[in-house]
Amino acid sequence: MALDIDDRMKRYWASNPPDEYPIYTLAIAHSDLSKVFRFWNQPGVGWLDVEGTLMEHRSVNFQIEQNGTNSNLDQLFRIAVDVVDSQDELREELDSIPLTTKERIVIVYRSFLYPVLDAPTGLARLQAESLTYVKGAANVNAVSPRYNLLRTGEVYSPREIPMLRGFQ
């Protein structure tokens, strides 16, 4: 009998079984990039089931730090990705994105609980707000997409909608 994701995570946090450990992945995509870059925090190349398709993930050191509090919905992620490789492929690809573009870099963060690699225990679809380079790493500040920035301009008041009087 397979456990659902919540039960697997509860068991992992409560007992920390030696044969289970978390695996984190990143997918970095943009229309100006030649491909989607997929990384994981394990040694060697790995294959993971991503939405029904086996995808190759390269081994890259990265650190993910989630800032903010539970009282806001910004969900700011600070991601430091190691860009030191023999070909400097990721850095060259990121440099190919024009500075004047309005399209944001899309970052998909997934977490898995080994040995189950076909059902993520966590998923966040993010947009990069800023990208900076420091020696050996690219630092990305990413947030969840902001769909609700524009207001409608309508003000709801009890004069126009009398049913609101009971909620004041």
Structure-token match 């790995």, residue found: 46
Mean pLDDT in residue range 40-69: 81
Which of 89-93, 109-113, 143-147 bottoms out in mean pLDDT, i.e. has the lowest?
143-147
| Residue 141 CA to its chain's centroid (Å) | 11
Distance set, CA 149 to CA 81, 130, 152 (Å) = 29, 18, 10
pLDDT for the residue numbered 70: 57
List, in sequence order, every beta strand (DSSP E) within 2-148.
Answer: 21-29, 37-40, 46-50, 53-59, 62-66, 77-82, 106-114, 122-134, 137-143
Which of 7-16, 44-53, 55-64 bottoms out in mean pLDDT, i.e. has the lowest?
7-16
Q: Which of 142, 36, 141, 44 is nearest to 90 (CA)?
A: 36
Residue 28 has pLDDT above 50, yes or no: yes
In one letter, which amino acid is 119? A
pTM of the full structure:
0.72
Q: Could you say which DSSP state residue 167 is in?
A: G
pLDDT for the residue numbered 1: 39
Q: Where is pLDDT greater, at 97 or 87?
A: 97
Q: How many DSSP H helices and E strands does the chain contain? A: 2, 9
Residue 68 has pLDDT above 70, yes or no: no
Residue 129 has pLDDT above 70, yes or no: yes
pLDDT for the residue numbered 51: 79
What mean pLDDT value characterizes the chain? 78
| Res. 52 pLDDT band, cuts 50 70 90 | confident
